[in-house]
Amino acid sequence: MGLRDGDGWVDCDCGFRHWGRFGAAGLLLVRRDTPQPQVLLQLRAEWTHGGGTWALPGGAKDSHEDSVTAALREAHEEMGIEESALTVKHIFSDNHGPWSYDTVIAHTMSDAGAHIANPESTETKWSSIEEVETLNLHPGLKQSWVALKPLTADSLKN
């Protein structure tokens, strides 16, 4: 394992503190081998920041990582996602200036090996695109889903 130097808070221009000295990244994985496309969510453990809410796998980027590398590393650590099982389609950057959260939209034709792989989550779920907004979402995902929902739909058009 390489140097992990991304852990830490950033005091952002938006007035909030965000996790990840070099920003953060997450994976929005879309499963296409089911009758309807489904997206992968994890229920965050109660002891974590935003505990008890549904979120994407993700976390702080390290200084040497691009967003795809960080998102896939976090998705593997948290949910056992196999990089070889997915194809990256789009990156949505929620850019605050001093801090950004990049969401990597990727497709898979299997369950990609998804399971609870570390104590940060207590449940995993494949949810239809329409169902996502009905769930108790992590505040960060709730805010970005407005942009991510149409981008996810667009990614399925080809």
13 token code pair: 């221009």
Q: Which is nearer to Zn ion, 12 or 151 (CB)?
A: 12
Q: Which is nearer to Zn ion, 32 or 96 (CB)?
A: 96
Q: Which is nearer to Zn ion, 76 or 142 (CB)?
A: 142
CA–CA separation, 116 vs 95, rounded Å?
A: 29
142 — phi, psi (to 5°)?
Answer: -55, -40
Least distance to Zn ion, CB of residue 1, Å: 29
Least distance to Zn ion, CB of residue 71, Å: 19
Least distance to Zn ion, CB of residue 96, Å: 3
60 C-beta neighbours (distance < 10 Å), count = 22
H or E, element range at 68: helix 67-79
Q: Which residues bind Zn ion (CB under 5 A)?
A: 12, 14, 96
